[in-house]
Chain A
Amino acid sequence: MKRMILAGVLAISLLTLLPACGGESSNNSPSAEDNASAPTAIPPTAQNTGSETTAIEPVLLPAGGTSTLLTVDDVSVFAGGVGLSTHQLALKSMAASVDPVQVEHIVSFDSLSFDTEDESRGLTLTAIRLYFETAASDRMELMVEEGPPLEHLAEDIGDVSGCIESNAAGIGSIVIFKRGER
């Protein structure tokens, strides 16, 4: 079964899951149009299931996996050497709890964030690995069509890529790409 790696195609709403991505959640709350096409996970919250109330909590990843894709040293070079902490989250189960259909064909759905000590600024890598190239292409296509307009990079990353420089509404820059297995 051919696997496809899609780094990106994630609802910006996931920012609300990540404690280090910008202080108060109101500063990072995405607009509705930002959430157009990606799996949606929800932040830790109480759910009323009748007589019981259960909480959905982020699942911390074990060491390895996404953490090998980007390191504190990598980010520090561009962050002026400020102290950074890291957080990893496994988001697939959270997205599945919202709607199992949206995690169809997804092998893994993880995030790795690098945050300043006061948690006011952060950089996050979000990676979605899919079983099928067609599934990755479909998600990427949907995001391009329904999400905020992407600018072209001077040189593409992977098969398809683009960027957004927002610096507003709690969002800085976004670079997204899709790459098939090599």
Chain B
Amino acid sequence: MVHTAQPDGVEPLVDLAGVEFLARLVAERL
């Protein structure tokens, strides 16, 4: 699982598209 967390109203460090990309990267490296 890859997820982001931040206080409400604050822009996430990485948006959903970025999180999905990073998750695919992890899957390739497993």
**Could you tell me which A residues sit within 8 Å of B by CB distance?**
5, 7-10, 12, 15, 18, 21-24, 27-28, 68-70, 74-75, 77-79, 82, 114, 116, 120-127, 153, 157-158, 161, 163, 165, 167-177, 179
**Could you tell me which B residues sit within 8 Å of A by CB distance?**
1-8, 10-16, 18-27, 29-30
Contacts of B8 in A (CB 8 A): 27, 168-170
Cα distance A30–B5 in the bound complex, in angstroms: 11
Contacts of A168 in B (CB 8 A): 8
Cβ-defined contact, B22 with A70, below 8 A: yes
CB within 8 Å for A8 and B1 given contacts A70-B26, A175-B23 = yes
Contacts of A27 in B (CB 8 A): 6-8
Cα distance A167–B14 in the bound complex, in angstroms: 11
In the complex, how many residue pairs between chain A and chain B have their CB atoms under 8 Å apart? 147
**Apart from A116-B13, A173-B19, A175-B2, what are 8 other A-B pairs with CB-CB below 8 Å?**
A7-B30, A8-B1, A75-B13, A121-B5, A124-B5, A170-B6, A173-B12, A177-B1
Contact of B19 among A5, A18, A123 (CB under 8 A): A123
Cα distance A167–B7 in the bound complex, in angstroms: 9
List 6 A–B pairs whose Cβ atoms lie within 8 Å, in order of A's numbering. Answer: A8-B1, A70-B22, A157-B23, A172-B4, A173-B12, A175-B19
Cβ-defined contact, B30 with A172, below 8 A: no
CB within 8 Å for A163 and B16 given contacts A8-B1, A69-B26 = yes
Minimum-distance CB pairs A-B, first 7: A8-B1, A172-B4, A78-B18, A172-B12, A21-B5, A173-B16, A175-B23
Q: Which residue of the partner chain A has the closest CB to B13?
A: A121
Cα distance A93–B26 in the bound complex, in angstroms: 23
